[in-house]
Structure 1
Amino acid sequence: MKEYIYKFLVFASVAAVMVSCEVQEFSDLNNAEVDAFEDNLTRGDLQDLVGGLFYSSRVNIGTYLDDTGVIGREWFRFSGSDPRFTTDLLGGGSAILDNNTFYITNPWSARYRTVKNGNLILDFLGSQDLSAQFTDQEVSAARGLAKTFIAYELLLNLNLTDENGIRLDVSDANNLGPFVSKTEALAGIRSFLEEGATDLANGGEAFSFIFPSGFAGFDTPSTFLQVNNAIAARVAAYQGDNEAVLSFLEDSFLNLDPQDMDTGVYYNFSEDQNSLVNPMFISANGTTAAQARIVEPSFISDAMAGDGRLSKIVQLEAPVTLDDLVGDHIVFRYQSNSDVIPIIRNEELILLYAEANIAVDPTEAVNALNIIRESAGLGAYTGATDENSLTDEMLMQRRYSLFAEGHRWIDMRRFDRLDELPLARPDDDVFAMFPIPLTENQ
């Protein structure tokens, strides 16, 4: 099993790095000399291993976004080859979420594959004398990167299973740690991030490897530390720890500027045969009942007049219908198969800042919400400033600002508002969490 994981890792990493930067030639992708990693990790080896981390983090991210987007009633996923998008995920009739189906098993295993890749990097860095190849600072920086990725991937899986929990400790494939509760999982994820932040702070001025283009501007230890803190702010928000959210944001790349919404880090895609294309792109011309992401109609009817964020959807010439679901707009947040998908960006950070300040400083929360409204072409907020009213406004702005980025279902769940999500059919249900995959019990 371990040998198989190593071979996959090396193959995936080389494929990924070839897309984004020049690397040394590798001797044999099918029979990689992985044993050399354990005895004599070189700078080229570490580049390959980190490339594998970046590559695997993108695998099945489209399924994750469909899971959260469909259950969160952002869109209907029409697929002629798999009706489970419109039955299981929408709770149609007597349908329930299956624990042995692609919509949980594929993203779940992909995220844990990236966690494994991160753990392999940590193992290699900690199991040998690297002083001839790397400075102590370079080793520390690499550890910080790996721990940040491990934390983020665990968070995505927890977003799916929620109260059903996740495994935090999977460093030993032959002796996996137990499933832990949501509370314990969030605490563990935050701990990983804080450990990674310490490593990054001691990481010197540069990494010893090259990043893909989606991380432009955040490819040094100090700038990637800002990303680490941004993700930690999201985790703290999920914990309801407002003071920690604001503290982490102070050390992130938060910028309270209505012209700076998109600064952040992204999954990048391309048509190169060794890369992956953006799984969220379906062209308007290619939209049919057999292949479509149809916008849930209330996204349009609930929008404020003049909201520029409606550019994330596009109207079709005629409605499309499947399984008693109908709509005439498609998701157009991603306009080509090489468009990037956000991991975390400044617009989310401003909204996290607003959310934390609802309880801490309502006036500052309104100021932050107005920055979001201004960027969307809307006027200033004029509603009440009590906690419930500001929460309503904050969730409204998150709905439109973070559309098709994997947040709506999670937001409504953490504010106990899943019953407010619209039902297109009378027998549909909104599920709160996915079951643990069947393979975890075997």
Structure 2
Amino acid sequence: MNKTFIRALLLGSVVASLSGCSYVEINKLDDPNFPTLASVLTNATKQQLDYLATGTFSDMRTNVDGIVWYHQLTGAIGREVYVLAGSDSRYATNLLGIGTAGFDNNNFLSGRYYTTYSSSRRTARILAQSTANTSLVTDEQKRGYLALAKTAEAYDMMVLSDLQYENGLRIDVTDPLKPGKIRAYDDVLAAIKALLDDGAKDLAAAGTALPFPLPSGYAAGTAGVSFLTPAGFLKVNRALAARLAVRRASRPNGSYQEVLDALSGSFINDAGALTIGPRFTYGGTSPDVVNPLFQARNFTGSVVTVAHPSFRRDIRATDTRISKIAARTAALPPRQGFSSADDVVLYATNTSPIPIIKKEELVLLSAEAHAMPGPQQNLALAVTEVNSVATAYDALRPTPLTATSPSADILDEILYQRRYSLFFEGQRWVDLRRLNQLNRLNVPGTSLPEVSSTNLQTTIVRQLPIPFAEVAWDVANP
């Protein structure tokens, strides 16, 4: 982030809408040292909109807190990592599905991610409302601000829907004190698509320059790739649309052509390494924050994230992505009956960026679309695409794929490559669930996942429960 981040933090006091309770709560502020909500909702200046835009970018990384929960929750449930606590057994009982009580809907694991991403969604909404209600910027500038707001809200909703899955989500939150009811999953996916598509239309009409400053992570800095202009930011929007489209394609009556349509406007064909793409950036100087997923080697604190043992067990002997984990030189004693010999070493320092979406994900989305039945199927192209990723990491399938290989074998290879290319990025659990392949998380040769050293049987959580505050809100407001 840059110096405007300081002012964004001040303005953030306006848009902080949650205090650990329901998404629909809103704080009423009357402090002469801070801007009021009314001051930005009515005829906001360009400077105020710029501060809101900076706050929106900051909140997409959910002010540190949310991204930790998102990656830890999806990573542990998807057996990419273990999140091992010294004393709090809920990291094991809830995330690894132990016992008959089920996932508690009234604790930090079920509520914190919901609060932070819902608050981020609220920030984007306020940017959109403020933009619509001002005459102090040009129409082209308005389209730029609106595109950011819609893309950011869509991103937040996609994270929430990945975790809530078929529980659904609220779509209509225009009035925070009278929100719409929780809607079905397919309706949520359709609403996210509408936001992204509307954002794309806004970008097409936003001229040649965006009116607000963008974080350095959108400059990419690789092979001249940049997402700093309306045309460049549109590629990010379409990349996220492709990620959404594969979720929709996996549903009844879904179409993989939607994936390919979205990819055609993304950065899939841009020059550069497979790892290029927009990133969340972090700084070590206050008031900015450090990368919350960074963890020092051999860490032994109260909560430790380590690689799931299956990462090393299943990776191909020559696969260079083994570098994403590293053997601990100081053993971590078992916690709640679970242990690992490997650290996660995705981030070299506490200011390393976190990818939002990468080119290799887009290539593998295209491969999946071409591998699946339908008029878009092209098995030869699917093989070429998945092999391009495998070759980059010296991880080709022992028995080479060909254009005549069964589509099931090609999909199996795509899932292998997604597992290691997108390790601990929130995708594996979602992938296996949407493709009805959660049984891949079972111990080989068995019908269930691992058993702890204390003889506790784990299961696979399909979705997180609706947080208690959301349930209570609907009970109180029928």
Query: TM-score normalized by structure 2?
Result: 0.83
Q: Give, in angstroms, the shift of residue 168 of structure 1.
A: 1.2
Q: Give, in angstroms, the shift of residue 30 of structure 1.
A: 4.4
2:185 alignment partner in structure 1: 182
The one-letter amino acid paired with 1:267 is F
SS in 2 for 1:92: coil
- Determine the C-alpha separation between the residues in 2 that align with 1:308 and 1:72: 22
SS in 1 for 2:311: helix
2:463 alignment partner in structure 1: 433
Q: Give, in angstroms, the shift of residue 93 of structure 1.
A: 3.1
The one-letter amino acid paired with 2:127 is I
Alignment check: 8 A CA contact 1:68 1:406 kept:
yes
- Determine the C-alpha separation between the residues in 1 that align with 2:469 and 2:274: 40
Consecutive unaligned residues of structure 2, counting only runs of 5 or more, are: 1-7, 16-30, 220-225, 250-254, 443-448, 473-478
1:200 aligned onto 2:218: no
Alignment check: 8 A CA contact 2:43 2:130 kept:
no
2:382 alignment partner in structure 1: 365
1:31 alignment partner in structure 2: 34
- Determine the C-alpha separation between the residues in 2 that align with 1:94 and 1:118: 39
- Determine the C-alpha separation between the residues in 2 that align with 1:76 and 1:98: 19
The one-letter amino acid paired with 1:382 is P
1:226 alignment partner in structure 2: 235
Q: Name the structure with the higher strand share.
A: 1
- Determine the C-alpha separation between the residues in 2 that align with 1:289 and 1:273: 24
* Gap change, CA 1:9 and 1:180, over 3 Å in 2: farther
2:393 alignment partner in structure 1: 376
* Gap change, CA 1:399 and 1:172, over 3 Å in 2: same
The one-letter amino acid paired with 2:257 is E
- Determine the C-alpha separation between the residues in 2 that align with 1:289 and 1:45: 41
SS in 2 for 1:366: helix
1:312 aligned onto 2:324: yes
Q: Give, in angstroms, the shift of residue 235 of structure 1.
A: 0.9
- Determine the C-alpha separation between the residues in 2 that align with 1:84 and 1:369: 38
1:210-289 matches, within 5 Å, as 210-216=213-219, 217-240=226-249, 241-255=255-269, 260-285=273-298, 287-288=299-300
1:30-429 matches, within 5 Å, as 30-59=33-62, 60-80=66-86, 82-130=88-136, 134-216=137-219, 217-240=226-249, 241-255=255-269, 260-285=273-298, 287-288=299-300, 290-320=302-332, 321-359=334-372, 360-379=377-396, 382-383=400-401, 385-422=405-442, 423-425=449-451, 427-429=457-459
- Determine the C-alpha separation between the residues in 2 that align with 1:318 and 1:29: 53
* Gap change, CA 1:435 and 1:30, over 3 Å in 2: farther
Listed one character per residue, the Cα deviations across residues 349-406 of structure 1 (whole Å, up to 9, x for unaligned) are 0110111110210100000011101111234661462121111111011000000111
The one-letter amino acid paired with 1:137 is E
Alignment check: 8 A CA contact 1:351 1:369 kept:
yes
Q: Give, in angstroms, the shift of residue 12 of structure 1.
A: 6.1
Alignment check: 8 A CA contact 1:57 1:110 kept:
no
- Determine the C-alpha separation between the residues in 2 that align with 1:115 and 1:195: 16
The one-letter amino acid paired with 1:65 is H
Listed one character per residue, the Cα deviations across residues 44-78 of structure 1 (whole Å, up to 9, x for unaligned) are 11111011111222121111100000000001111
Q: Give, in angstroms, the shift of residue 256 of structure 1.
A: 7.6
SS in 2 for 1:317: coil
Alignment check: 8 A CA contact 1:10 1:48 kept:
yes
The one-letter amino acid paired with 1:228 is N
Alignment check: 8 A CA contact 1:78 1:289 kept:
no
* Gap change, CA 1:338 and 1:69, over 3 Å in 2: same
SS in 2 for 1:326: coil
Alignment check: 8 A CA contact 1:306 1:378 kept:
yes
- Determine the C-alpha separation between the residues in 1 that align with 2:88 and 2:9: 28
Alignment check: 8 A CA contact 1:233 1:244 kept:
yes
- Determine the C-alpha separation between the residues in 2 that align with 1:8 and 1:362: 50
Q: Percent identity?
A: 34
Moved more, 312-321 or 301-310: 312-321
Q: Give, in angstroms, the shift of residue 33 of structure 1.
A: 4.7
The one-letter amino acid paired with 1:143 is L
Consecutive unaligned residues of structure 1, counting only runs of 5 or more, are: 1-6, 15-27
Q: Give, in angstroms, the shift of residue 120 of structure 1.
A: 0.8
Alignment check: 8 A CA contact 1:347 1:372 kept:
yes
Q: Which structure 1 residue ranges, 4+ long, deviate > 6 Å from structure 2?
A: none
RMSD: 2.1
- Determine the C-alpha separation between the residues in 2 that align with 1:183 and 1:231: 17
Listed one character per residue, the Cα deviations across residues 183-219 of structure 1 (whole Å, up to 9, x for unaligned) are 1111111011101100010000111110111111212
